[in-house]
Structures are given as structure tokens and as C-alpha cells.
């Protein structure tokens, strides 16, 4: 019965904090409806009493009438140990009731706007996830059983794992000793053909007898390393692009240190995509390339093309955007971390120079899925003493990058907070007023249905902003797994609908689901835009001699 009081105390202590989050930073927090709160409290007490009585009946050999089950996908209490002991059986079900109660409390608190309400929900979920009995030695029966079976060795191993992570300065999610960039990940053959202080430009070696005249330039996000697109040969999107007969160029962003902490948004456009477009066209002796951007790389690439368009330069014959935001009306949970007060503080500290540390970015992304990317490892590594298995995607996930402070602050202020990119002529970049509507090349936009970083509905709005004919495709799964969905394995599915006149939900209601990977659909769309096939071209040219083999040295630099 102590868990009834624990649940009420947890909710009551958190209510004041949530109420403050619901209002603005300067106004009084909205008042909770006392009648609604009373109804919730009575319902909570009745449910806890029903659970207690049902557990007593179960111990007497009767069927348990009242059960509390985890939400779909919650595996924290799936082990049989949670049900074999009456203590832990009751403990985890009482916790689930407490969590439900906390979520209901959040819904009773009025908010000044939708973002404030979402911030409350996020904070409540973080508290509930952190308080799970699976996270603590004394309340985790799996920990206790394993400790007894190993005569305490699992406890020793867990402490050693914790000490290793303290020394490392971060939680390792995989066996990092297994992987080496350029040896068993990021192995697609090619060469660095150009570099500046900000990026290296890789040109990949051809894998077909002939290649399209028009090359393909890839701009990955600068928030992570590019090799998410080139992990292993069988799931490498880069290799797939080359296998389709494309001459592929890729921007490999540098991991900024203090000496690059002065870089602005304009600097990163000018010395990133714009420089890469110039070099790729020069090497291949063409006026236009096909261009592809992934996540924030897509936002930057689109902005760079708009700058060049304003200068009278049509640099791209086509544009592919993967899980990219152009309209920042709904930025999902990432947007909850960006508000006026917090951003003003960052602008005062790093807005004129400095770094947004990689650790801050990694922690932010990890806590968006705390049970999978934080507490799961607390349980397995620190409580059970297990070593994480080798997993290339998690190795990449831990290889975070810093961001130049002025760049990050401009990005958060003008795009996430003010959503100015969608307004024609509002933003000036690299000395030009940009209008995305002037970009009239054909566009392929991919979003993913379970993306918690770029909501697919927001990505869909990009079809309204660009001037060319658009094809919008919705892939299954999330931000990474939905994109890295190899055609050779042909798993999952994707949705298509040629009619883009309706709103996102209307589009989806009329969309047709296609089995398999979106990669083949994109390759068929791109093929007519690649130009007349010609003899393959080795990396580099007389003006741009290879500097070093791919993947280059920039991608190997880790954040300190």
C-alpha cells in the first residue's frame, strides 16, 4: 500500500514544476481544476486498492481479476522474474499505475500553448522512466537473481563497467573495440578530392562500366558523422548509389574544435554545400548535378541552392531530401529543448564564438528515447554487469560531433524558433535574400512514419515550399532505420500518393502501401535525371588530385 502514497507524492511534488512549465517564464502558471484533480485521485486510489486485493487473491490461488499491463513495446518487465515473486509482481504493476496517474495529472494542467503542454508530457515521461523499479538494484529481481547465480560476479562486473564509462566520459552502448572507420565501416572505395577547414569532399570509385553524365552530390547532417550512410557493404546507401551508375560525391564534415568555433551558418553554406557543388561540377565538367541532403544536411543543401539561385546559378537538376525539415511548424520533441530563454542564454555564451559540445547533443537525442538509449544500458551494463554486443549503428550513434556556436544559435533562432525559412525573402544567407519557391527542379522527399526527430507531417509541408514537381514518399520505421533500409533485404514498406493537394493526414489516407525498401523507388525516379551514360571516371581530375583514400581523416576525428 505504500505505492499508493508514493504515486500521490510523486505527482503532487511534480505538479508545481509542471504548472510552471505550462505557463510562460514570466507569467503565473495556469491553475489546476481542483474538481478534476479530486476525481483523478479517487480513481487512482480505487485502482491501487483493486490491484492490492487482486494480488492477495492471486496468492490464495485465485485468478487475478485486476491487472496493469505495460504499453505496447515496453519490454522492461517482460522477464518472468517480475511475475514469479508476488513482491515484484505487485511492485511493477503499482509503478505502472503510478505512471498512468502522473500522465493523467499532466492532462489536467492547462497550458498556454501546445508546446508548453508537450513540454509537460516530456518532463513527466522523463521522471516516470527514471523512477522505474527496473533501474534500481533493490527493486530489480533480474539483478538479484543474477547476483545470486554468479555469486556476486555480476555486481563486480557492473561496477567495472560503470568505472570504465566514467573514465570514458560517456556511456558506451556497444563494444567500440570491434569497429574501425575505414577498416570495417565506411569502406566504400573512393578518394578525398578536395578539402578546406570545414569539410572534405569524397568522390567514390565507380562500380559500373558506365556512369551517368550528371554526378550525385550527397550532403549528410553535420550533427553526426556521414558513415551512417556507409556502415557495412550490405546496408550502405552510398554503395547502393554507386551501384546504380552514379558518380557520387559526398561532403564529410569536420568535427569542429575551438579553432572553428567562430563559424556561422553562412560560413557553413559557403564552404560546405556551395563549395562542394562547385568542385563536383568542375571535376565532371557539367553545369548541374543531382543533389541529395539528409536531415539538417537537407536543410543546408536546400538553403545553399536557394542562395545560388538568387545569384543566377541553377546548380542542381534534381533535389532529394531525406527526413528533412523546411517548414519548422512542428519540430517534434527536439523543439521542446529550444525556447526563448534557453536560446538567449546560448547566444550570450556561444553565439559569438565557441562550441555546442557533442555531449550535449548526444544526451539530448538519447533522452528522446530514454528507455532504449539510457535506462536499458543502466540495467544491462551497471546492474547485470553485461558487456554490450558489437553493433555498428550504436557505434555511429556514440560518435557525436560538436557544432560551432554561431552556426547552432542562428539555426535554432531562425529556423526552429522563428520558422523563417518558409517565408519567401525573409532570410538573408550569404548576402542573398532566399526564396525556396524559386527552386524549380524536380524533388524527391522521403519522410519516415515513426520519426521522432523530423515528424513526417512537417516534412510533407516541404512540398508546399519548393517550386518544382515533388514526389513525396513515406517510409516505415524511424529517422535512421527508415532511411537505412537496404534494397537487398527489401524489408518494411513505404507509402506513395501522387496527389499532394491535401493535408498530410488526407495524403496518407489515400496513399498506397508498397512492400519493400524505398531505395528502388528513388533509384527509378533518379535514373532519367542522371544524363547520358559515359565511360566511368576515376576520382579526381587535373585540377583536383586525390588527397587521400576515402573515408578521409576528417571523419575519424572524435569530439573531445
Catalytic residues: 295
Contacts of 326 (CB under 8 A, 6+ apart): 299, 302, 421, 422, 436, 461, 462, 465, 466
- Name the residue with cell 555480476: 154
HEC secondary structure over 12-23: HHHHHHHHHHHC
CA 134 to chain centroid: 26
The three cell numbers locating residue 458: 512537417
The DSSP secondary structure of 20-41, one letter per residue, reads HHHS-SSSPPPPP-HHHHHHHH
Q: Rounding to the nearest 10 degrees, give the CA dihedral for residues 11, 17, 22, 25.
A: 180
Are the CB atoms for 399 and 274 separated by under 8 Å?
no
Alpha helix positions (H), 328-369: 340-350, 358-368
Packing angle of the helix pair 86-108, 2-22 (nearest 10 deg) = 30
Rounded to 5°, the CA angle 426-431-434 comes to 35
Q: Which residues pair with 443 in a beta bridge?
A: 319, 470
CA–CA–CA angle 488, 490, 495 (5° rounding): 140
The full length of the chain comes to: 560
For residues 450 and 474, the answer to whether their CB atoms sit within 8 Å is: no
H/E stretch holding 322 reads: strand 316-322
Alpha-carbon distance 359 to 447, whole Å? 27
**CA-CA-CA-CA torsion sign (302, 308, 312, 314):** negative
C-alpha cell at 439: 527552386
Amino acid at each position: 500500500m505504500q505505492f499508493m502514497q508514493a504515486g500521490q507524492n510523486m505527482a503532487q511534488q511534480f505538479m508545481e514544476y509542471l504548472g510552471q512549465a505550462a505557463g510562460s517564464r514570466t507569467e503565473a502558471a495556469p491553475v489546476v481544476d481542483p474538481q478534476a484533480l479530486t476525481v483523478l485521485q479517487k480513481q487512482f486510489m480505487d485502482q491501487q486498492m483493486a490491484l492490492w486485493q487482486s494480488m492477495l487473491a492471486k496468492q490464495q490461488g485465485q485468478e487475478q481479476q485486476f491487472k496493469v499491463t505495460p504499453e505496447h513495446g515496453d519490454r522492461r518487465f517482460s522477464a518472468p522474474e517480475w511475475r514469479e515473486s508476488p513482491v515484484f509482481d505487485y511492485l511493477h504493476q503499482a509503478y505502472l499505475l503510478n505512471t498512468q496517474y502522473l500522465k493523467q495529472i499532466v492532462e489536467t494542467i492547462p497550458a498556454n500553448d501546445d508546446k508548453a503542454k508537450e513540454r509537460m508530457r516530456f518532463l513527466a515521461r522523463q521522471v516516470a522512466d527514471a523512477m522505474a523499479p527496473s533501474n534500481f538494484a533493490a527493486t530489480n529481481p533480474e539483478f538479484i537473481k543474477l547476483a545470486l547465480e554468479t555469486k556476486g560476479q555480476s555486481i563486480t562486473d557492473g561496477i567495472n563497467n560503470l568505472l570504465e564509462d566514467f573514465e570514458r566520459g560517456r556511456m558506451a552502448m556497444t563494444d567500440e573495440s570491434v569497429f574501425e572507420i575505414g577498416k570495417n565501416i565506411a569502406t566504400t572505395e573512393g578518394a578525398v578530392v578536395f578539402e578546406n577547414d570545414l569539410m572534405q569532399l569524397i568522390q567514390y570509385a565507380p562500380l559500373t562500366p558506365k556512369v551517368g553524365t550528371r554526378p550525385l552530390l550527397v550532403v549528410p547532417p553535420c550533427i553526426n558523422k556521414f558513415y551512417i550512410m556507409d556502415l557495412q557493404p550490405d546496408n550502405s546507401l552510398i554503395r547502393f548509389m554507386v551501384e546504380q551508375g552514379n558518380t557520387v560525391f559526398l561532403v564529410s564534415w569536420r568535427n569542429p574544435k575551438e579553432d572553428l568555433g567562430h563559424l556561422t551558418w553562412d560560413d557553413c553554406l559557403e564552404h560546405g554545400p556551395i563549395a562542394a557543388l562547385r568542385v563536383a561540377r568542375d571535376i565532371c565538367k557539367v553545369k548541374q548535378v543531382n543533389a541529395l541532403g539528409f536531415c539538417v544536411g537537407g536543410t543546408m543543401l536546400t538553403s545553399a541552392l536557394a542562395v545560388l539561385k538568387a545569384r543566377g546559378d541553377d546548380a542542381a537538376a534534381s533535389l532529394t531530401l531525406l527526413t528533412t525539415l523546411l517548414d519548422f511548424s512542428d519540430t517534434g520533441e527536439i523543439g521542446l529543448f529550444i525556447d526563448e530563454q534557453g536560446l538567449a542564454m546560448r547566444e550570450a555564451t556561444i553565439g559569438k564564438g565557441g562550441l555546442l559540445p557533442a555531449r550535449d547533443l548526444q544526451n539530448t537525442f538519447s533522452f528522446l528515447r530514454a528507455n532504449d538509449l539510457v535506462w536499458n544500458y543502466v540495467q544491462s551494463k551497471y546492474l547485470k554487469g553485461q558487456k554490450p554486443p558489437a553493433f555498428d549503428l550504436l557505434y555511429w550513434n556514440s560518435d557525436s560531433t560538436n557544432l560551432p556556436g554561431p552556426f547552432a544559435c542562428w539555426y535554432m533562432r531562425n529556423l526552429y524558433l522563428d520558422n523563417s525559412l518558409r517565408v519567401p525573402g525573409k532570410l538573408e544567407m550569404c548576402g542573398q535574400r532566399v526564396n525556396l519557391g524559386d527552386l524549380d527542379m524536380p524533388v524527391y522527399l522521403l519522410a519516415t512514419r515513426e520519426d521522432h526527430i523530423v515528424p513526417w507531417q512537417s516534412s510533407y509541408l516541404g512540398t508546399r515550399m519548393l517550386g518544382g514537381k515533388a514526389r513525396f514518399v513515406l517510409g516505415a520505421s524511424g529517422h535512421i532505420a527508415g532511411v537505412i533500409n537496404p534494397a537487398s533485404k527489401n524489408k518494411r514498406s513505404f507509402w506513395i500518393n501522387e496527389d499532394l493537394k491535401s493535408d498530410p493526414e488526407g495524403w496518407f489516407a489515400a496513399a498506397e502501401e508498397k512492400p519493400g525498401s524505398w531505395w528502388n523507388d528513388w533509384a527509378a525516379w533518379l535514373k532519367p535525371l542522371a544524363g547520358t551514360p559515359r565511360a566511368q571516371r576515376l576520382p579526381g581530375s587535373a585540377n583536383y588530385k586525390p588527397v587521400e583514400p576515402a573515408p578521409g581523416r576528417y571523419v575519424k576525428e572524435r569530439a573531445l
